[in-house]
Amino acid sequence: YKDSEIDVIFVLGGPGSGKGTQCSRLVKNYDFVHLSAGDLLRAEQANPNSEYGSLIAHYIKEGLIVPQEITINLLKNAVVDNHKNHGKTKFLIDGFPRKMDQAVSFENLVVKSKLVLYFECPEEVMLQRLLERGKTSGRTDDNLESIKKRFRTFVETSMPVVDYFGKQDRVVKVNCNQPVEEVYAKVVSSFNDRGI
């Protein structure tokens, strides 16, 4: 896609920082399509016809990044489908890219992101949220052991992506250790500032 054809916003932040929560709020007030890379991977994993089911299950439980070809393909198909068949032009891509190779490939293969929203949150806060959610989420990675691995992957592998975009002045950082409504208000005002 050309930059002018579709708008993509990457939504990044540690596990449990509130990416999904804020994206759900945003789609109510803006004409965005919300694409969560994690949700797409979980759906692919649950598809009995997929050849990647057991591979994805393993990576998610271990808090590791699934090989980029799989994730980029799922995202690209979702963007193209929404654009071609539903005329959608604005996308929130939640939880992606979380490794440098993905960032470079996606921007080369699909489109350059207009903005990166980064939710900053202390680990203790994210840990409490995820343990609480784990009581009912059914997610195989919402347990202490997997959560620790996810935190580690975030620090070692995903933060360099945020820093890379930061150096290009494309990141809006939002402190998300606050009630959902307050975080949301900050997101909206940062969008207003940037004419989104």
Question: Which residues of the chain form contacts with ligand UP5 (CB under 6 A)?
Answer: 13, 15-21, 36-38, 41, 59-60, 63-66, 71, 95-96, 98, 129, 133, 141, 150, 176, 178-180, 183
* 170 appears as a binding residue in the annotation: no
Q: Which does 16 bind (CB under 5 to 8 A by kind): Mg ion, ligand UP5, none?
A: ligand UP5
The closest of 21, 10, 9 to 178, measured between CA atoms, is 21
> Which residue bears the tokens 């999904």?
20
42 near Mg ion, rule: CB under 5 A: no
Question: 13: which DSSP letter?
Answer: E
Among 1, 7, 20, 89, binds Mg ion (CB under 5 A): 20
96 close to 102: Cβ distance less than 8 angstroms: yes
Q: What one-letter code names the amino acid at 30?
A: Y
The closest of 165, 135, 196, 187 to 18, measured between CA atoms, is 187
21 near Mg ion, rule: CB under 5 A: no
User: Nearest approach, Cβ of 138 to ligand UP5 (angstroms)?
Assistant: 12
Question: 143: which DSSP letter?
Answer: S
Closer CB to ligand UP5, residue 90 or residue 98? 98
> Which residue bears the tokens 């609480």?
132
Q: Max CA-CA distance within the chain?
A: 45
* 18 appears as a binding residue in the annotation: yes
Q: Which does 60 bind (CB under 5 to 8 A by kind): ligand UP5, Mg ion, none?
A: ligand UP5
The residue ranges that bind Mg ion (CB under 5 A) are 19-20
